[in-house]
C-alpha cells in the first residue's frame, strides 16, 4: 500500500508564492539602506530625503520608501502632499519626482489628516505590499525611512529585506537621544543588520551674522557614542533654519541650498553609501550650480498685481526667477494664461521652466498632475501682491491658510 503524502495547505502555498514575488522584486534593487532613529524629533526623515536626493544627484537610480505608517512626512518634504499612486497590471506605480521614485502610505489616504489606526499584523502586511507590489523597477538604491524606535515597522523591514546593506542611524548630540540610539544599534545587531554609520544631526549652529559657533544641543555626543559602540561615524549636520524652510516648501534642502555647510555635510555623509557601489569622489555628488541651474522659476496666478484665488481660470501668470540660496529675485515677467482646457496648465507651465507654484487653492487631481511634471505646489497663500508673496516664500515666512479649492 502506497504511503500518502500530505499536500501543502493553500495558505502555505500562498505564503511561498508571496516570498518568491518579494525576492524577485528586491533582486532588481542593488542596495537597500534603512534610516533609523531611536527617538522622534532628531531629523531622521530629513536625513533620509536628502540622502536619497544626494544619490540621485550622483546619477544613481533611487527609490525612497516611507514606512512611517502613523506619521508619514516624506511626501510633504518633497512637495507631494496631493500626489496619489497609479496602478498598472495589478502593480502599484510609485510617485516619481525628478527621477526619484517615492512610496508612502500618505499617497493612499484621502485626507492628509486621516489617522491610521492599525495593529502590528496590518502594518506588516502593508509594508510587505510596499516592497512586493510596488513597481520599483531596476534601482541602484532603495532608501527606507523607518519610524522612530524599534517597533513593528523597523522589525518588519529588517525581517522582509534579507539582504539589506545596513542601517544609517540618526541622533542629536544630547544624551536623551543618544540613549535611544544605543538601543537602535543593539536592535540592528540582534537582527544581524550592519550599521553603516551614525549621523549626528543638529550639531552646532553658526550665526549667519557674526559666524560664531553655538552648540545649542551640544556637539560631539554622536561621534563619542559611535566610537564606544564600535560603529562608524558618518558626520555632523549643523543646525540651519533653511532646512526647515526647505522641508515646509517641499524642496529638498541639498538641492535648494547646495552651497551651504549643511548641504556639504550631506555630501560627505552619503559617500560611504555611494561606496557600496564602488569608490566615488566627493565631486561626483555635488549638484550643478551654474547661474541658470541655481535659479528657480515660480509661477503665481494674478489679477491686478495680486494673487488670483481661482487658479484654473486666471487671466495672467507672473513668472518670477529667483535665487533660492541668496533669496533674491532675479527676473520677472507676466504672461497671458492659455485657453482653459483640463490638464493643459501642468504642461504649459512646465514648458516655461516653472518649478514652484504659489496658489490660493488647487484640487488634488491638479496637484498630482503638477507633481508628475516635477512642479511643487504651495496652496493656501493669501491674495497679497506678487513681490510680497515671493519674498515671504524665500524667507520661509509666508503665511498660508486652508486650500480654498476642494475639487
* Position 109 in a domain: yes
Domain boundary among 285, 308, 324: 285
Q: What was the pLDDT predicted at 407?
A: 44
How many DSSP H helices and E strands does the chain contain?
15, 17
* Position 15 in a domain: no
Q: What are residue 342's phi and psi, to 5 degrees?
A: -55, 130
Residue pair 352/298 in contact (Cβ under 8 Å)? The answer is no
* Position 12 in a domain: no
329-364 residue pLDDT tens = 888 999 999 887 777 888 889 888 888 889 888 887
* Position 118 in a domain: yes
* Position 7 in a domain: no
Q: What was the pLDDT predicted at 196?
A: 94
270 shares its domain with 372:
no
183 shares its domain with 240:
yes
281 shares its domain with 296:
no
* Chain position carrying cell 488647487: 362
300 shares its domain with 244:
no
The three cell numbers locating residue 278: 564602488
325 shares its domain with 247:
no
* Chain position carrying cell 525611512: 145
Q: What was the pLDDT predicted at 6?
A: 52
Domain boundary among 269, 285, 301: 285
- Written in H, E and C, the secondary structure of 281-333 is CHHHHCCCCCHHHHCEEEEEEEECCEECCCHHHCCEEEEEEEECCCCEEEEEE
303 shares its domain with 208:
no
- Residues of the chain whose pLDDT is less than 50? 1, 115, 211, 279, 283-284, 286-293, 406-407
Q: What was the pLDDT predicted at 289?
A: 44
75 shares its domain with 187:
yes
* Domain containing residue 339: CATH number: 3.30.420.130
* Domain containing residue 147: CATH number: 3.40.50.300
* Position 407 in a domain: no
Q: What was the pLDDT predicted at 283?
A: 40
- Full domain range(s) for residue 112: 25-285
Q: What was the pLDDT predicted at 300?
A: 93
Domain boundary among 241, 268, 285: 285
Q: What's the number of domains the chain is made of? A: 2
Amino acid at each position: 500500500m502506497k504511503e500518502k503524502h500530505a499536500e501543502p495547505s493553500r495558505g502555505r502555498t500562498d505564503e511561498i508564492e508571496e516570498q518568491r514575488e518579494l525576492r524577485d522584486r528586491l533582486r532588481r534593487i542593488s542596495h537597500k539602506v534603512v534610516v533609523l532613529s531611536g527617538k522622534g524629533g532628531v531629523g531622521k526623515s530629513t536625513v533620509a530625503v536628502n540622502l536619497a536626493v544626494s544619490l540621485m544627484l550622483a546619477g544613481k537610480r533611487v527609490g525612497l520608501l516611507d514606512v512611517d505608517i502613523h506619521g508619514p512626512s516624506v511626501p510633504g518634504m518633497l512637495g507631494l502632499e496631493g500626489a496619489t499612486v497609479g496602478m498598472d497590471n495589478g502593480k502599484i506605480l510609485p510617485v516619481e519626482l525628478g527621477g526619484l521614485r517615492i512610496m508612502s502610505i500618505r499617497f493612499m489616504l484621502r485626507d492628509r489628516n486621516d489617522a491610521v489606526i492599525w495593529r502590528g499584523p496590518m502594518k506588516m502586511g502593508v509594508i510587505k505590499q510596499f516592497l512586493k507590489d510596488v513597481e520599483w523597477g531596476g534601482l541602484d538604491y532603495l532608501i527606507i525611512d523607518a519610524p522612530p524606535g524599534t517597533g513593528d515597522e523597523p522589525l518588519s523591514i529588517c525581517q522582509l529585506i534579507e539582504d539589506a546593506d545596513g542601517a544609517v542611524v540618526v541622533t542629536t548630540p544630547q544624551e536623551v537621544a543618544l540613549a535611544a540610539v544605543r538601543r537602535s544599534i543593539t536592535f540592528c545587531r540582534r537582527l544581524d543588520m550592519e550599521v553603516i554609520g551614525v549621523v549626528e544631526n543638529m550639531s552646532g549652529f553658526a550665526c549667519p551674522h557674526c559666524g560664531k559657533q553655538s552648540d545649542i544641543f551640544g556637539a560631539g555626543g554622536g561621534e563619542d557614542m559611535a566610537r564606544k559602540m564600535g560603529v562608524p561615524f558618518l558626520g555632523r549636520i549643523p543646525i540651519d533654519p533653511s532646512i526647515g524652510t526647505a522641508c515646509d516648501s517641499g524642496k529638498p534642502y541639498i538641492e535648494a541650498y547646495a552651497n551651504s555647510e549643511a548641504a556639504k555635510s550631506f555630501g560627505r555623509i552619503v559617500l560611504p553609501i555611494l561606496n557600496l557601489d564602488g569608490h566615488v569622489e566627493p565631486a561626483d555628488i555635488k549638484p550643478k550650480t551654474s547661474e541658470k541651474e541655481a535659479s528657480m522659476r515660480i509661477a503665481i496666478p494674478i489679477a491686478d498685481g495680486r494673487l488670483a484665488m481661482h487658479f484654473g481660470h486666471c487671466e495672467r501668470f507672473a513668472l518670477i526667477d529667483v535665487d533660492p540660496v541668496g533669496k533674491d529675485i532675479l527676473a520677472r515677467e507676466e504672461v497671458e494664461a492659455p485657453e482653459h482646457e483640463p490638464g493643459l496648465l501642468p504642461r504649459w507651465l512646465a514648458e516655461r521652466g516653472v518649478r514652484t507654484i504659489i496658489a490660493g487653492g488647487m484640487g488634488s487631481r491638479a496637484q498630482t498632475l503638477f507633481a508628475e511634471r516635477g512642479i511643487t505646489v504651495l496652496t493656501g497663500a493669501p491674495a497679497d501682491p506678487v513681490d510680497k508673496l515671493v519674498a515671504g516664500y524665500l524667507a520661509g515666512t509666508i503665511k498660508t491658510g486652508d486650500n480654498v479649492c476642494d475639487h
